[in-house]
Amino acid sequence: MDDQPQHRDWLKRICGDLLALQDESGALAEEIGIQDGRPLPAASDEDYARANTLLITKNGDTGADLLYTLNYAFLGLNEAAAATGDAYYKTAQLKLANFLCRAQIKSILHPELDGSWFRAFDFGEWSFWGGDVSPRWGAWSVATGGTHAWVTSVLAMCRAETCLWEVAGKTDVKSEVEKLIPAFFPDQIPGDAP
């Protein structure tokens, strides 16, 4: 690792911009920006629901996105805390972890949802809510691979006081892939790349 003051400054600048949006609840508020040269959310009725878009309609709305933002921010904060040892990142990460645990779905009526997370959470109203304008991943979708897997993995790494960098460095991916190649590519000659 090449630990340089300039690199720490870059990390602090990027995380500072992100954490400026962190609410007392631990959530990170969404902000409207530009995607593919178009303002988000949709600029016109014709653009409405044509692509994945934000859950909010204006900056200042208390919406958090657990599919495209919080899950990856949680991972990034864990990595930043582990790489630097800086309490600034660890404090923000723990605050976000607390929010994620409290925003988790709890349902007796729908046990298939219990323990997961919806994409949208309104931390101002403390409810599962957001603009449902996305044709693919609406406010009340559950993405077990995109949210649940990341959040629970990072929670486990927090508990084990480790990070993805350390976990991945101890993983022998090559031998695991070699075991799987015959199942996925049965006509493959051993030793050939798929």
Residue-wise pLDDT tens digits, 72-89? 999 999 999 999 999 999
For 127-172, what is each residue's pLDDT tens digit?
A: 998 877 666 777 888 988 889 899 999 999 999 999 999 998 888 8
pLDDT in tens, 47-62: 666 666 678 888 899 9
Q: Which H or E run contains 121?
A: strand 120-122
Q: What is the pLDDT of residue 96?
A: 98
Q: Which string of DSSP letters, residue by residue, matches 29-85?
A: -----EETTEESS-SSTTTTTSS---S-SSTT--EEETTTTHHHHHHHHHHHHHHH-
The Cα–Cα gap between 148 and 93 comes to 17
Contact (Cβ atoms closer than 8 angstroms) between residue 137 and residue 52: yes
CA distances to 11, 88, 96, 109 from 19, in Å: 12, 10, 10, 36
Close Cβ partners of 25 (under 8 Å, ≥ 6 residues apart): 99, 102, 123, 126
